[in-house]
Structure formats: structure tokens, C-alpha cells
Structure 1
Amino acid sequence: MLLTLGALPQRAEARTYPKIFSSIELPSKNLKKFPKWLDMLGRWKGGAPCESETCTTKGWKGFIDDLKGKDRLTQIKEVNKLMNSKRYIIDMKNWGAEDYWATPYQFLKKNGDCEDYAISKMMALKALGIPIEDMRVVALQDLNLGVGHAVLIVYNGSDALLLDNQIKTVVPANTIKHYQPVYSINENGWWLHRR
């Protein structure tokens, strides 16, 4: 799940978002180091609504339409709740690959693992109008379990909210002490995290 990263990313303009898990962030706009992310984005942007053995749009439009017009925090909580209701399944069993980044339509059809939950939550919230710069998929190390994991961070005002398939509800990210972020990413760039 976690990537070995080469050189440090280039510095970009200063940000006003709160720190994720008290880490120092080094931003970059160069997404070429993340081919699985770019591949998923290409399939998501390029794909029309689909109904196949590996992909479905069933329920997506209705879910998004039901949440339109609701306040932002309600949207965040409802998206988290729906996506967390999906079954966790490892990529090798689901896709026959060690690390496959599914689109939300693939996740709706076949369930998925941690980054698939995070990606699907991000794209649902984006469809509801939350700006992509207010969200990041975070690849991290779960220090309690000693494994790689991925979550979604959504910035809501001055709060960084954690949407995690291992936690039933949305919580402030700073309340979780056993996560050590490695990098975070969205469609605009990525951030290397250091302690």
C-alpha cells in the first residue's frame, strides 16, 4: 500500500489548512509518482455510467441527489456512513492484484479495501460540491496494528475531519494518535508528511 518515494517534493505555496496528525507537510503538484492514483482518476473521469461484473452506478445518483442541499457536515457524515457499510475485501481476492485502486463505481459493485473507501468518499463529496482542495486521501501507518492504511481527511472550517472505514463515525483527525501519515493526495497535488 505504501510507496517508496524518491526525492522530496518541490515546495509550493503556503497553505492554511490544519496539519494532519501533527505532521510537517512538504507539498508538490507532480503526481507522476502515483501511477495507481492517476490510473484510477483516468478510469473515473473517462468512464461513462457502467453496469458490468466489475462496475455499477446503481444507487450513486439517487444517493447524491438525496444529499444535495443538506449542510456540509450532514453530507460528510452520510457519505461516511454509506461507504462504511460496504464490505472490506483485500485486493488480491477482489482483483487478483496486490494493490488495486478502484473507482467508486467499482467499489459499489465489488466492495474494496481501505483506499477504495477513501476514494469513494472523496468522489461522492466532490459530486456534492465539496472542493477537491478541501479533501485528501492519506496513506499512513497504523502504529497499533503495524500495517499500512488509507483514510480520507476532509477540511471543514478549521477542522480536519477523519473518515475512516475502521471508525464508525466521523471524528476530528487530531483525536487519533496511532496514525502516522506518509503522504496525502488529491487531484491537485500531493504532500509528503514528516514528523
Structure 2
Amino acid sequence: MARNRSKWVCVAGFLAAQLILAPVWLNSASAAVDLFGSKELSSTKLEKFEKWTGVLERYAKDEPNDLAKCQITGSEPCHIAKWRIFLNKLKGVAPMDQLEYVNKYLNQYAYLLDPINYGKKDYWATPKEFMYRTGDCEDYAISKYVSLVHLGWPKENMRIVVLQDQNLNVAHAILVVYINDQALVLDNQIPQVIDSTRIKHYKPIFSITDGRWWLHRS
């Protein structure tokens, strides 16, 4: 699907309210890589991250029945069935190739801001919502995260990272996957999967996975 690179930006400040937290910090082992040169504090307190926990809950509820009314040969495209077929073909493929294929597959969807798409300042979409309505940066990252979970990747090795793009001066979100002491970036603004150390203009704010989040500091 054609995309306009000029639209590949996110609404700044969409997570500001979630940063006013009183977390319980954990002395857990940090990742082998200091993501974009930041230091991390970890917490399992997710009460303020309702958009993240909400999208996981909606996906868990809808996933068993998301193919019920979907016919891949029908007049309407069945994005979920095509996505499932795509993922099933990746089982047994080398891990790095899985990352590249998933990144490329989901980056084909058009970028669309939440106020236009949903009439809301910020909305975190399930893969089904994203594939039928497209979405913005965090929606690409969420669908990549769910895709890799489906392929057997450990959740603890992946994070949705919310950051500041210092070149564009906007908020942005990506998926980071930790493998072999590398933090690999899956980004709707970058065609290839790349090592995080190659990106100098991203300043992480926080990152999150199922059951845990990290505050990033310079």
C-alpha cells in the first residue's frame, strides 16, 4: 500500500499525562544495551498505562473470533487471514529474517493520524483495527509486537518504545527487539531493521512490554 513519508510523524505529547507517576521501582537486571544511550528504571506498576493494557485486553478478547466473518476470497479484503497466512509461513525462518519480513509487511500500511482515523487525540489499535483502518506509529509497533509473539518471540525481549524524534521534534513510537546483545529497531519510518546504535536522534521517554515498563533518563 502506498505511503507518504511526510505523514510518518506522531502527535507530540500524546503520553505526557502517563509520565506523572508514582511508581514502585525494581532493582531488576537492566538490558545489556543502554537504549539510545539512556539509563533505565523499571517498574511493574502499569495502572497509568491504560492504552497499552487496554489494547492487549481487546486483542486477547477478539483474537479467538477475529476470523469468524472473514473470507479471504470475498469481495472485501480479509487482512487478518492474510496476516495469519503470512505469519505461518515465517515459522521456522531464521530469527533475523523474521524481523525483516514482519517489519516490511506491516510498514506497507498507510500512515493515518488518530484524530482523523478515530476522532481522538490518541488511540492504540489492535492488529485487526490497524489492518482495516491503518494507524500511526504506535499502531505499527503494536502489530509488530503481536506478530512476533505469535511467532514465539519472548515478550520480555521486546518493548514498545515511546521517544522524542529530535530531528522532527515530535513524539514517536517504535518496537525494539533484544537479540544477541543488540537492541534492534523496527520502525515505520525506516524500511530495514537496524541496530539502535545507528540512530542518534532518538531520545527515549519510556518503554513497555507485557507486565513491565521502563523510564528512560539521559
Q: Would you call these one fold, judging by a TM-score over 0.5? A: yes
Partner of 2:105: 82
1:187 aligns with 2:210: yes
1:49–1:56: 8 Å Cα contact kept in structure 2? no
Identify unmatched segments of 5+ residues in structure 2.
1-13, 71-75
Identify unmatched segments of 5+ residues in structure 1.
none
- Residue 64 to residue 175, structure 1, CA distance change in 2 (3 Å): same
TM-score by length of 1: 0.94
Correspondent of 1:166 among 179, 184, 189:
189
| C-alpha deviation, 1:108, in angstroms | 1.0
Look up the equivalent residue of 1:2 and give its one-letter code: L
Could you tell me how far apart the structure 1 residues matched to 2:190 and 2:28 are? 33
2:158–2:209: 8 Å Cα contact kept in structure 1? yes
Could you tell me how far apart the structure 1 residues matched to 2:154 and 2:59 are? 17
| C-alpha deviation, 1:118, in angstroms | 0.3
Look up the equivalent residue of 1:31 and give its one-letter code: L
Q: Give the greater-gyration-radius structure (CA).
A: 2
Correspondent of 1:137 among 160, 169, 172:
160
Could you tell me how far apart the structure 1 residues matched to 2:106 and 2:79 are? 14
1:2 aligns with 2:15: yes
TM-score by length of 2: 0.85
- Which string of whole-angstrom CA distances, capped at 9 and with x for unpartnered residues, describes residues 86-114 of structure 1? 10000111111110000011111111100
| C-alpha deviation, 1:8, in angstroms | 4.8
Look up the equivalent residue of 2:200 and give its one-letter code: K
Could you tell me how far apart the structure 1 residues matched to 2:149 and 2:132 are? 20
3-state SS of 1:73 partner: helix
Q: CA RMSD in A?
A: 1.7
3-state SS of 2:99 partner: helix
Look up the equivalent residue of 2:42 and give its one-letter code: P
4+ residue segments displaced more than 6 Å: none
2:111–2:135: 8 Å Cα contact kept in structure 1? yes
- Which string of whole-angstrom CA distances, capped at 9 and with x for unpartnered residues, describes residues 64-104 of structure 1? 11100101100000000001111000011111111000001
* Count of residue pairs brought into register by the alignment: 194
Overall identity of the aligned pairs, in %: 45
The structure with the greater share of residues assigned to helix is: 2
